[in-house]
């Protein structure tokens, strides 16, 4: 088999059939990691086969990868004319179409970005695990999603030659639930999305997204995000001239968020911004007094480092990987302790010295996470696999 240092050409495939514009953190991971591995292998005799759908290819172009993907000497993009119909349809593409493409193009190593691998693909396999939510907090996922992951994650762990995790916390979960499959787990962290760097270079004034100062939280309205408790904690803050803005697609918990805000008499101070395009989300970060991440579990927690990159002070739950990601650069609290969450909000809203200290530590913390670094880790892992 050809290696990165030989005269032959190594072909690396990327299973990206799950990529879709409606994704949030997973979209950041897929686009960031693909861009990083393409950059990390510029000097290697590697060819890259990107397998995605038309919708996924649009996401890659929107993420600023159009130029890199147009380099036909290094990259082939296969746009499937179907897909985007939810996890079952994606799974069919992954298990039936991706293996055929991998064999047709002579793929040597195939990387899957999202929980599962093409079991009949043939080449050596790597897979990324973002969390084991379906085992830790099964009630947070729908029945179908739980069932699919209960089948595909264990099968993927057995089939994959190398396992990647986005955090030490997720790696420890794999070891706890599966004994790590008897193999080393490589930690390849997330980083802020490419649009964050672009937005920071603009350095323009923020638009107002609330009639008053606001605290921002970023995430889909699902149970793990813990928004009903956040609303309860926010209702008790001392400053009544501050609003809470929640940015992200509606989810299972969205009706409860609205009901809780109305019951507590603060519906006029809680803004559900819905899904935000990158530029709008950048404005939300720029204008925020602080960012709060109240989740009861995260496999990583990209909004923590996005906020820090935007120089915004962060208050965060210490659940899951959040404590590891935030380090000493956030005000931490127990996500199940509503009064503790209120105290964190009162402190970060009311104490300018605390906010400045968090900003300073946050800048340094955000700088510790980069796609360039993670891309090099993946590049070196693949090179070792084929030596």
3-class DSSP state of 190? coil
* Backbone angles phi and psi of 18, in degrees to 5: -85, -15
Query: Is 168 a member of any domain?
Result: yes
Number of domains in the chain: 2
Query: Is 358 a member of any domain?
Result: yes
Query: Is 5 a member of any domain?
Result: no
What was the pLDDT predicted at 85? Answer: 59
What was the pLDDT predicted at 204? Answer: 59
Domain that holds residue 300: 194-367
Residues 208 and 330 reside in one and the same domain = yes
Identify which has the larger pLDDT, 210 or 245.
Answer: 245
3-class DSSP state of 13? strand
What's the CATH code of the domain at 146?
Answer: 3.40.50.2000
What was the pLDDT predicted at 145? Answer: 84
3-class DSSP state of 281? helix
Residues 319 and 200 reside in one and the same domain = yes
What was the pLDDT predicted at 313? Answer: 98
Query: Is 295 a member of any domain?
Result: yes
Residues 210 and 130 reside in one and the same domain = no
Query: Is 97 a member of any domain?
Result: yes
Residues 277 and 340 reside in one and the same domain = yes
What was the pLDDT predicted at 184? Answer: 85
Residues 177 and 216 reside in one and the same domain = no
pTM > 0.75: yes
Tens-place pLDDT, residues 106-132 = 999 999 998 889 998 888 999 999 999
Residues 98 and 142 reside in one and the same domain = yes
The Cβ-side half-sphere exposure at 335, using a 13 Å CA radius, reads 21
Residues 136 and 36 reside in one and the same domain = yes
Residue 326 has pLDDT above 70, yes or no: yes
The Cβ-side half-sphere exposure at 7, using a 13 Å CA radius, reads 0
Identify which has the larger pLDDT, 87 or 168.
Answer: 168
Residues 304 and 319 reside in one and the same domain = yes
CA 154, CA 170: separation in Å to the nearest integer? 15
The Cβ-side half-sphere exposure at 129, using a 13 Å CA radius, reads 33
Residues 376 and 350 reside in one and the same domain = no
What was the pLDDT predicted at 139? Answer: 86
Residues 50 and 141 reside in one and the same domain = yes
Residues 75 and 184 reside in one and the same domain = yes
Tens-place pLDDT, residues 259-293 = 999 999 999 999 999 988 888 999 999 999 999 99
Mean residue pLDDT across the chain: 90
Tens-place pLDDT, residues 4-63 = 333 458 999 999 999 988 888 889 999 999 999 999 999 999 999 999 999 999 999 999
Percent of the chain with pLDDT over 90: 75
Rg (CA), the chain: 21
Transcribe 103-161 into DSSP letters. HHTT-SEEEE-SS---TT--SEEEEEE---HHHH-GGGS-HHHHHHHHHHHHHHHHH-S
Q: Which long-range contacts (CB under 8 A, 24 or more apart) does 2-6 make?
A: 2/45, 2/108, 2/386, 3/383, 3/386, 3/387, 4/41, 4/44, 4/45, 4/46, 4/382, 4/383, 4/386, 5/383, 6/45
Query: Is 1 a member of any domain?
Result: no
* 16-20, 230-234, 301-305, range with the lowest pLDDT: 16-20
Residues 27 and 84 reside in one and the same domain = yes
Residue 143 has pLDDT above 90, yes or no: no
CB 116 within 8 Å of CB 91: yes
CA 47, CA 73: separation in Å to the nearest integer? 8
Query: Is 2 a member of any domain?
Result: no
């Amino acid at each position: 088999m050809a290696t990165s240092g030989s005269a032959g050409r190594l072909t690396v495939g990327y299973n990206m059939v799950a990529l879709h514009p409606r994704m949030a953190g997973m979209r950041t991971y897929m686009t960031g990691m693909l861009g990083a591995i393409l950059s990390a292998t510029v000097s290697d005799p590697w060819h890259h086969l990107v397998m995605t759908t038309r919708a996924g290819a649009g996401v890659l172009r929107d993420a600023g990868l159009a130029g890199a993907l147009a380099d036909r000497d290094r990259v082939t993009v296969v746009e499937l004319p179907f897909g985007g119909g939810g996890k079952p349809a994606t799974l069919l593409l992954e298990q039936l179409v991706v293996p055929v493409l991998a064999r047709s193009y002579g793929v040597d190593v195939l990387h899957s970005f999202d929980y599962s691998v093409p079991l009949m693909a043939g080449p050596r396999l790597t897979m990324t695990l973002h969390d084991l939510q379906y085992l830790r907090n099964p009630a947070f996922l729908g029945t179908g999603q739980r069932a699919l992951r209960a089948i595909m994650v264990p099968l993927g762990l057995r089939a994959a030659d190398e396992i990647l995790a986005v955090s030490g916390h997720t790696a420890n979960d794999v070891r706890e639930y599966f004994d790590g499959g008897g193999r080393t787990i490589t930690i390849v962290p997330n980083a802020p999305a490419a649009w964050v760097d672009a937005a920071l270079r603009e350095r323009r004034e923020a638009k107002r997204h609330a009639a008053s100062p606001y605290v921002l939280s970023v995430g889909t309205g699902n149970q793990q995000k813990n928004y009903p408790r956040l609303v309860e904690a926010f209702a008790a803050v001392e400053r009544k001239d501050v609003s809470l803005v929640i940015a992200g697609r509606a989810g299972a918990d969205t009706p409860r968020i609205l009901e809780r805000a109305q019951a507590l008499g603060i519906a006029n101070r809680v803004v559900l911004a819905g899904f935000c395009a990158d530029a709008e989300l950048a404005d939300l970060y720029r204008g925020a007094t602080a960012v709060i991440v109240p989740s009861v579990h995260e496999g990583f927690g990209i909004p923590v480092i996005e906020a820090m990159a935007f120089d915004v002070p962060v208050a965060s739950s210490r659940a899951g990987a959040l404590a590891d990601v935030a380090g000493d650069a956030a005000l931490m609290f127990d996500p199940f302790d509503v009064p503790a969450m209120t105290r964190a909000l009162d402190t970060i809203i009311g104490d300018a010295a605390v906010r400045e200290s968090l900003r300073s530590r946050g800048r340094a913390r955000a700088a510790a996470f980069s796609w360039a670094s993670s891309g090099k880790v993946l590049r070196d892992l693949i090179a070792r696999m084929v030596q």
